[in-house]
Amino acid sequence: MSHPYKRDRPLSRQGGDMTDIADRYRRLAAVLDHRIESVPADRWESPSPCEGWTTRDVVAHLIDWHGGVAELGGLTLPPGPPVEDDPVAAWRHTRDAMQELLDDPERANTSYEGMFGPTTVAATADQFLGLDLIVHGWDIARGAGLDDTIPPEDVAELLPTIRQLGDNLRRPGVCGPEVPVPDDADDQTKLLGLLGRRR
Distance CA 127, CA 189 (A): 21
Distance CA 196, CA 177 (A): 5
11-59, pLDDT tens digit by residue? 233 333 778 999 999 999 999 999 999 999 999 999 999 989 999 999 9
The ranges of the chain annotated as CATH 1.20.120.450 are 18-130
pTM for this prediction: 0.87
Task: Note the CATH architecture for domain 18-130.
Answer: Up-down Bundle (1.20)
59-109, pLDDT tens digit by residue? 999 999 999 999 999 999 999 999 999 999 999 999 999 999 999 999 999
Long-range contacts of 153-156 (CB under 8 A, 24+ apart): 154/28, 154/31, 155/187, 155/188, 155/191, 156/187
Distance CA 29, CA 117 (A): 28
